[in-house]
Chain A
């Protein structure tokens, strides 16, 4: 006894053993760690979130860059886009050769090809023609016609020489002071004279142009969101809109527009020089260099061979990289899942806490409202809302958050009602704490574990709802992507381009799996009694 009391006072039980206090969270964490699937789920969720959060730092192609030459390239481990383009072209040429009779195959094979065409099995036809043609060409029994050879040569040449230029930084040297400045860091007022010097226009003309462009842009977006108004109504709403944008807004757009125009000029001129250099054979890709356009304008440009890109997971209908679309789509989906859940939890806590604490008439009305809303086919109302009020991410949030706070409100109400008469609330009340303080500083934090557990289970449901809407074409719009819109885009033509369907579906399924296991594990850990309940 004496020896122990010298140390810090530890609570002892009747057998002189130290009784360590265990907090609820600590206990839950211990239980969660035992559940292997839940831990795996947690790790996967964390990985996905990291991937989504740092998507912009990953060495992947831009998710919205359209390269029409790279339409519907299949996934590949080692072939470049150029190889695949050549393959597609050859498939086409061999098929045409078979049609015209110059590629000779046996009677049985011919019948097989016809059957495939009838069954819409185009992929098999392409494959067969390609392997057969390559075999015959190697054996020397088949040669392309002159026209075809020329086509192939032309394609090969463009594969070898096409390049993409991106302007990284633009520098402007002030002739009087000799100071070199990065254009991106200059303000609109500073860029104006630069642009004037480059284009040899006077500043008022440029300013008028910028204003005109901004007006046209705003008008377009007004017309898109509110179709069917009269011309006067459009004009007046344009004026109001322009007023609210103000000079700052115009300057911001003006800067982007002018920078874009200068970039285009630089790209054009360096394209010309590069083409010349390629002809002379003095370049090797990739290029990363500084070019001088005129005596005071210089830029850092990067040029890569256009068709040497690798698309690990293939491309979509406008040549965008599927891998980066899936990653950025995951970013959008996870963001919507998280923010949407937070919003709905926020509304739910407020309604539930008020109903539970105040009781009486407030409780009655709020809960009747919840009951009635439960009876509504609310996804239908969300669909109408999205279809009519325009399809953008903001509306999606609003529509989904408006209808998904019901369960959380009921749950919080139950929690609050059970805590209402506990001693610590009594104590707070006796010390004169206000209703708001009691609810939000004392009761809500005490029911937070239940709320958090429920929220983790809401996230996958939210992602599913968002994807459901995006699938119908009512959610996220191109060039942005979400898992749902990717699957939705892929459904048409999935026999020809199955990778467009399979990869986003797998990415999404793994995440939802992980999220469900993690959520279930959390719930079991915090509330062991509820095991296996829905």
Chain B
């Protein structure tokens, strides 16, 4: 097991390296630069600015310098927002995105698993149809439709919840609800469907029948015996779900004006703010890679049939 963990950890390095290299070169190979929109700069000033950000050096040297800086944990200065560096912006906005992501994931897991279990245990009753109906809506309706519609209904028409903002700027903890709910909806739906089908399969398996034959309580069978086996597909779904939540948060942060990392990402791509783009991508990828790693470990722990070398 330890060896497997070490191997997986070592496997993270090439992935990150590829991401950094790819995003570094994509942004720099494209025509136009971060200073292209500032017209009519005198040639000298332009050259000075470029020298300040080492843009006059050959690409490969810039790349080497950047990699060296990253190893030291420095993501460089922002090209567009002059006064601060990328680390400042990311450390300021990342916590908000993480809180949002965790809330969404928590909601999706909590409601998805419970809806799935209820649907499986009470198969072909109204509870089953209701939860699967809601799940189909969650799968078919895209996030950027759900979010504004929820905002329109619950914030603007009914006035129950705040329209936008974030609790750190003093608008109350209620601001989390709408973004988190809309972000979690699709994953709730997928998790509910997955839980239902894997639970149904597990409930028909031999060891559950044995447990029933021994005269165990129904609730013990479901929560102690069946749950553990039925959770496997859900755990393996969590990896893609985290990736989806990261991209989804970009939309949600835009709609609900959450000052998180996603807003920065789109803005900096438009601005060609090289260091900020690559910085945000690195942070997102790091989160994603770590999450995938954790998911793999949990999966290995849960499934006794798999032996890792």
Contact = CB atoms under 8 A, between A and B. Distances in A.
A487 B285 CA distance: 29
Interface string A340-380: 00000000000000000000000000000000100111011
Nearest to B191: A534
A212 B186 CA distance: 53
Nearest to A510: B140
A379 B140 contact: no
A383 B247 CA distance: 10
A30 B246 CA distance: 41
B292 A508 contact: no
B141 interface: yes
A487 B37 CA distance: 29
Contacts, number: 136
B32 A226 contact: yes
15 contacts: A227-B31, A227-B37, A228-B36, A376-B18, A379-B243, A380-B247, A380-B280, A381-B26, A383-B266, A467-B144, A484-B144, A501-B152, A508-B142, A516-B139, A532-B197
A377 B22 contact: no
A468 B142 contact: yes
Given A484-B144, A491-B255, A472 B31 contact: no
Given A227-B37, A372-B14, A505 B281 contact: no
A133 interface: no
Contact of B288 (A228, A375, A498, A508): A375
A196 B288 CA distance: 66
A471 interface: yes
Interface stretch (A187-195, A265-273, A384-392): A384-392
A495 interface: yes
Nearest to B196: A532
A119 to B, nearest CB: 8
Nearest to A385: B26
Interface string B187-200: 00010011011001
Interface stretch (B71-79, B204-212, B217-225, B269-277): B269-277
A369 B26 CA distance: 18
Given A377-B288, A380-B247, A383-B269, 17 more contacts: A119-B159, A227-B37, A228-B37, A372-B18, A376-B285, A377-B19, A377-B243, A377-B285, A380-B280, A383-B250, A388-B32, A468-B247, A487-B144, A487-B148, A490-B148, A491-B144, A531-B197
A117 to B, nearest CB: 15
Interface in B36-64: 36-37
A103 B272 CA distance: 55
Contacts of A225: 31
Interface string A469-481: 0011010000000
B145 A228 contact: no
A488 interface: yes
Interface string A489-521: 011001100100100010011001100110000
Contact of B27 (A384, A468, A498): A384
A388 B272 contact: yes
B27 A388 contact: yes
Interface string A46-89: 00000000000000000000000000000000000000000000
Nearest to B139: A516
B306 interface: no
B140 A387 contact: no
A383 B289 CA distance: 19
A464 interface: yes
Given A377-B285, A509-B141, A532-B193, A495 B152 contact: yes
A226 B144 contact: no
Q: Which 3 A-B pairs have the closest CB atoms?
A: A228-B36, A387-B269, A532-B197
A319 interface: no
Contacts of A254: none
A330 interface: no
B221 to A, nearest CB: 21
Interface in A67-121: 119
Contacts of A517: 136
B197 A226 contact: no
Contacts of A227: 31-32, 36-37
Interface string B123-148: 00000000000001001111111001
B284 interface: yes
A487 B152 contact: no
A388 B22 CA distance: 14
Contact of B23 (A381, A512, A531): A381
Contacts of A513: 136, 140
Given A228-B31, A387-B266, A534 B200 contact: no
B259 interface: no
A167 B18 CA distance: 57
B154 interface: no
B254 interface: yes
B216 interface: no
A472 B18 contact: no
A227 B271 CA distance: 12
A228 B27 CA distance: 14
Contacts of B197: 531-534
B265 interface: yes
A138 interface: no
A228 B272 CA distance: 12
Nearest to B288: A377
B229 interface: no
Report which residue of A376, A516, A533 has the largest number of chain B beta carbons within 10 angstroms of its beta carbon: A376
Contacts of B265: 380, 383
A325 to B, nearest CB: 16
A532 B36 CA distance: 52
A239 to B, nearest CB: 17
Nearest to A379: B247
A513 B137 CA distance: 8
Given A375-B289, A512-B142, A501 B149 contact: yes
A229 B266 CA distance: 24
Contacts of A383: 250, 265-266, 269
Contacts of B144: 467-468, 471, 484, 487-488, 491
B277 to A, nearest CB: 6
B145 A508 contact: yes
Contacts of A468: 142-144, 247, 251
A467 B248 CA distance: 12
Contacts of A376: 15, 18-19, 22, 285
